[in-house]
Each structure stands twice: as C-alpha cells, then as structure tokens.
Amino acid sequence: MRQILVALGIVAFLTVSTPIALAQADAEAAYKEAKTAFDAGQFEKARDLLIEASQTDVDNPEVFLLLGKAFYQLGFVDEAMTAWQTTLRLAPEEPHAAKMLKVLKGQKAAVDTRISLVHLLIQQRLLDAAYKEVGRLLAEKSLSDPERARAMTLKAEILLKKGLPKDAEAVVHTIMTTNAKHADAATLMLFAGQAKVRVVGEGLADGLTILKNVIAKHPDTTAAVTARLELIEFDLKQAATPEKAKALTGDMEKDVDQARCLFEWVRDRIPHSKDINSDIVTCKASEVLSEGTGICHAKSHLLAAMLRARNIPAGFCYQALRRDPPFEGMVLHGLNGIYIPSLCKWIRVDARGNTGWIDAQFSVDQEKLAFPADASCGEFIYDAIYADPVPAVVDVLSRFESRKEMWPHLPSEISQ
C-alpha cells in the first residue's frame, strides 16, 4: 500500500511540474533567441521575446538586464530604468544596471533643470535663447516620451510667442500624432486654437471653436484662463467697436479729442451694472456694447477696444480698494491707461461711471479717478499698464452669469 501511495505521489508531482518545466524551458528558449536578436540589432524582436520570458522567468536578473538594454536601444528610457531596477532587486551587485541607473537618474535631473530653464527664458521673453535651448534638448536621444512631449510643447509655445503660428500648429500636430498620451491635452488644445486664430484665413472659425472647447472641457485649468484671454484679445480687435468708435469721433483729428470723446461716451453712456441694479455679467467688449452695461473691468475692455480702433494705444490698469460693506478685505478695480501720441505721454482714466460723489474726469495734466487711493487703509494703484486684462479678472467675469453671485468673488490682487 505504501508503495502505491509513493507511486501516486510521483505521478502527481510530475503532473504539476511538467507544465512549469515546459514554461521554464520556453522562457529559456525565448531568452536565448532574444539574445541572438539583440546581438543582431533586432531590438524590437528582442524586447518582445524578453517580455514574454519575463512573465515566466520572474527571478532571472539576466532577462531583465537584457530587457532594459533593448528598451534603451529603442528609446524607451523609463521602461529601461524599470527593467534595470528589477535587475538590481534580483541581483543587487549587477554592475551594468547600477551604472546605467545612476547615469540616467542624473540625466533626468538635468533634463528637468533644462526644462525649467526654458520656462524661465519664456517668462522673461528671451524667446531666441529659449528656442535654441529647447532645440538642444530635443536633440538628446535619451529623452523619455513624457520629457519629449514637454519639450515639444514648450517649442510650440515659443513659436506662438515669436509670431509663427503656422510653425506652432505643425509642432502641435506632431505631438498629437506621435506622443499625445504623454502631453497635456488642455495645453495642446489651447495652442492649436491660438495658432488657428492667429493665422489669417479659413481656420479662424475653427480656432475660436477650439478655444471655447478648452474652456468647456477643461474649465479649471490654466489653459482655460488663457483661452478666455485669447478670446477677449480677439474681441478687442474684431468686435463691432471700430465702427462705433469711428461714428463717435467723426471728423475729429486730434488724438486728445478722440480719446476724450470715447472715454466720456463709455463713462456716461454705458452704465455700471451695479448702479442700475443689473444682474448681467459682461466681459468682452462686444458683450458690453450689445448689453449696454458692465462693471468697471468690462467697461475698461470696451474703452480699450474703441481707443485701439482709432489707433490710440490703450492698456489696462488696476487699483486695490477696500470692499464695500458687508464684504471685507480688498478688491481689484479696473481702469485704463491711454497713450497720447501727440503729447508723448501716458495718462490714466477711469470710465467706471460717475454717480453721487464719484467724479472721474479725462485729464492730460492732473489725474482724476473715480476712487482716490487711501494709503492709510492699504489702498494703492498698480504702476504697470497691462497690454491684456489680467487672468484673475477674466476668469471671474467668464465663470459667473449673475453679477450678485459674482460680486464676493472678484479678485483682490493681480497675482490671484
């Protein structure tokens, strides 16, 4: 009886171990074939065979060592590092895996530093230097797919800022067709829309649609804020304001007279929404013109558009004021900067609208704004004149449909 049980045990062992042994043999054969393929430069074939072998021969460091080499030869740096990390887990003293991981970790840190440098150069408008650096970065064969996607995205941003929208659009297309899964979808969509809008031609309508989709599909992103700014900038140039501005200024020849006329019209004929208890929220110049109302920021957008339509340079200024009760803290108030070419000087004006004690006036000699800043209470005027409305303002005006609901959320500072 004991002999029968022993025999049955041997049969059971052989029944279980035979598939394992066969699988192990298949893994060894796959590894040998992969090694031959690798030595012959057939890296894709080697990679596929090694992945197959690694699923069965999970404790063989040689399989993962060669798999890392195959991945690296194919340009998959992250995957190579993962394979070599497994190699070191199985064989801590393996010299090649240890050396390559040390080198690649150093390269990745260097890549992050160089990408940060490109960001800084873009922020400082050193676009030629940024373009050269991103070009050198993209020439590195060791870049991983995510790193390459980041560098390519920066290249598209630089080209847009250099006024080369067609080239930027081509870069975006390359990213979307070759490396989209590693890129930021909202940013790519933004750059695609900006490029189409800035290229005069049939792509304009598509570009505007793409920018609106950025806002709809990625509402809480930096890309959405930038898309809103792009739409407002387009509106400042293309709205119905040129005809209105021309009609208002008529045959006036002096730039001072034209600027005064347009300022007073926006100040007096477009009431502040709060003054007339209107709950409408407007932002773009065309919206303010069609609805006939807006808060200080919206009115400044309209005035800038009308001034620019008459070739008078205009920008956006901001003032930090105390909030009206019952709200506490500070709120950002919007006004305009106007450059008077004949006088070679900038002036500040506030088209908010006069009511009660508010008496803002157009003056080239003595500034007279709606709200004199009280420094003792922390109020002040930002010195800068901005070419575009600040993102914090655009974001709030674009997100709300009710002025009363929006009111407590108005930004308190430019950096928000």
The pLDDT assigned to 196 comes to 92
208 or 117, which is more confident? Answer: 208
Contact present, 172 and 195 (Cβ < 8 Å): yes
The pLDDT assigned to 9 comes to 40
pTM of this prediction exceeds 0.85: no
Residue 212: other Cβ atoms inside 10 A: 14
The arrangement of secondary structure in 239-409, i.e. its CATH architecture, is Roll (3.10)
Buried b / exposed e across 357-385, counting CB within 10 Å, b at 16+? eeebbbeeeeeebbbeeeeeeebebeeeb
pLDDT of residue 140 exceeding 50: yes
Give, in degrees to the nearest 5, the angle at Cα 82 between 154 and 116: 25
* Tokens 């009760």 -> residue: 325
Longest C-alpha distance within the chain, in Å?
A: 121
Domain extents in the chain = 184-237, 239-409
What average pLDDT does the segment 59-76 reach?
87
Q: Which of 381, 390, 367, 342 is nearest to 263 (CA)?
A: 367
d(CA 286, CA 311): 18
pLDDT of residue 352 exceeding 90: yes
d(CA 49, CA 47): 6
Distance of CA 178 to the CA centre of its chain: 20
3-class secondary structure, 10: helix
The pLDDT assigned to 200 comes to 67
Per-residue model confidence as pLDDT tens digits over 14-58: 334 445 454 667 778 888 898 898 888 898 999 999 898 888 878
The pLDDT assigned to 230 comes to 84
The pLDDT assigned to 4 comes to 39
The pLDDT assigned to 119 comes to 86
Per-residue model confidence as pLDDT tens digits over 385-401: 999 999 999 999 988 99
Share of the chain above pLDDT 90, in %: 50
Q: Helix, strand, coil proportions of the chain in percent (round to 5)?
A: 65, 10, 30
